[in-house]
């Protein structure tokens, strides 16, 4: 199990706390330091069962300044997320088969029970 974590994000810290409380073994990936590859993101999107645009934080200033209002392909959205990881929803928790967004943090319970 992995948590794609931003230590400055309250929801991310809360999700991490739930994993610790449940004594789950997991790996922490600080995705702002250890950037995603496009293939990583494609696997996560598949596990989340969402479209790439649904993983984007559309209120981030980077998104608004560079991408808002543009008709982007999925590949262009993946590229935007790789180049600007701040625009990726967080936290993301994955296991071998599924993934969830920790918004709300209790969503993590869906893949650990």
Digit-by-digit pLDDT tens for the chain (113 residues) are 999 999 999 999 999 999 999 999 999 999 999 989 999 999 999 999 999 999 999 999 999 999 999 999 999 999 999 999 999 999 999 999 999 999 999 999 999 86
Q: Which pLDDT score, from 0 to 100, does residue 5 have?
A: 96
**Which H or E run includes 108?**
none
Report the pLDDT value the prediction gives residue 101, as an integer from 0 to 100: 97
* Residue-number span of the structural domain to which 27 is assigned: 2-112
Please state, in angstroms and rounded to a whole number, the distance separating the CA atoms of residues 46 and 105.
20
Q: Is 48 within 8 Å of 55 (Cβ atoms)?
A: yes
Q: What is the CATH number of the domain that holds 63?
A: 3.40.30.10
* The predicted structure's pLDDT at residue 113: 65
pLDDT at 35: 87
Position 68 scores a pLDDT of: 95
pTM of the model: 0.93
9 catalytic per annotation: yes
Catalytic pick among 3, 4, 5, 9: 9
What are the b/e assignments for 58-73, b being 16+ CB within 10 Å?
Answer: eebeebeeebeeeeee
Neighbours of 3 (CB within 10 A): 23
Q: How many domains does the chain have?
A: 1
């Amino acid at each position: 199990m992995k948590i794609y974590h931003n230590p400055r994000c309250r929801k991310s810290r809360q999700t991490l706390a739930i994993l610790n409380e449940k004594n789950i073994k997991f790996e922490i990936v600080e995705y702002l330091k250890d950037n995603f590859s496009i293939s990583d993101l494609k696997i996560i999107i598949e596990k989340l069962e969402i479209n790439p645009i649904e993983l984007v934080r559309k209120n981030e200033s980077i998104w608004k300044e560079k991408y808002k209002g543009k008709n982007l392909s999925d590949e262009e959205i993946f590229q935007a997320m790789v180049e600007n990881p701040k625009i990726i929803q967080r936290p993301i928790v994955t296991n071998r088969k599924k993934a969830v967004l920790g918004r709300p943090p209790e969503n993590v319970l869906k893949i650990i029970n």
